Structure 1
Amino acid sequence: MKLRKINPTDYDLVKQFIDGNDDSIDTLVIRHKDRVYTYIYLIVKNHQLSEDLFQDTFIKVIRSLRLGKYQDNGKFLAWVLRIAHNLIIDHFRKEKQNKTFSKDDYELDIFNSAKYCEETYEDELIRNQIHSDIRNLVDELPDDQREVVILRHYKGLSFKEIANQTNVSINTALGRMRYALINMRKTIEDRNMSLTF
């Protein structure tokens, strides 16, 4: 007879869940609910929305575990918080896209434009996530393509300067940039990524 641990680790509980013990996910939720809920609430500052995002987070956790998408590295909570973070970003993106601005006759059009409104914490969160996603895409490029992208977009060099610095022709530098953009676009489509505000 197999003895069950009195205080199973997250790893043990995940393994039990994958092996068919549905009760173990309840233990994981109870164990981490305060940390996950508090993390969500500190960002969205709304109890009802926090509840919804908390539920969505654990629905996604369960789906991901069932699909074998979790690789245990002793950081189950960090993985759950990352899922919560991504769901928060998705929520803010959708909200921003659905936002409409009132337009009164006496107001100038300029004040009704989203781009002239003050940037909120949510905007900053989305922008930082987009920058992080783009940087990860750049890091995945082949060395020669990555070098051109970094020199052009992060260091602001012209293609002539890039060609001189990398000892290639301008056409080669342009070609590498073109292939880098094609590769990044393909990865974005394959992963169904959203890189817009």
Structure 2
Amino acid sequence: SAEAVTEMFAAVAARLGPVDILVNNAGITRDGLLLRMSGESWNEVITTNLTSNFLCSKAALRSMIRGRWGRIICISSAAGIHGNPGQTNYAAAKAGIIGFAKSLAKEVGSRGITVNVVAPGFVRTDLTQGLGEFAESQTARIALGRLGSPPEIASVVGYLASDGASYITGQTIVVDGGLAL
């Protein structure tokens, strides 16, 4: 809820100071073909994956604007770019993150705040572990011939959070080992 997010940001600010780097990294799936998908599954994925970006970014922006510096990095997915069967809700949410970040980058860029997206492909995580053989079968489609690792995604996020990325905003960096080539 918006209230819970506001309380969380207030607690963080009281303990650590204002948030100047935000990584929006929430992701769940509730896969199913659209004709069989419940409204509950649709809403749960959209709320967790997309609405959370809105709520957390809004809560962090005031202090970033006051400080005239900030980094917002949103984690999307390659599925938000090319889609996946059985993932209309997930792909819609992750594509929405890309549009959200582009628009927000235009709103806050003049205040020293960058907003970017990292769109991972198949990465060895708890989320993809449940895909079992399907995830492993995708390695044949990946130019590098393997799934990615969380540290490989984290290094891109770390760069976008750094001063070295101060002239990058509104961009989506796809980290998929060449899956989409």
Which structure has the bigger radius of gyration? 1
**Relative contact order (C-alpha < 8 Å, sep 6+): which is higher?**
2
For the criterion TM > 0.5, the same-fold answer is: no
Structure with the bigger percentage of strand: 2
> TM-score, normalised on structure 1?
0.28
Structure with the bigger percentage of helix: 1
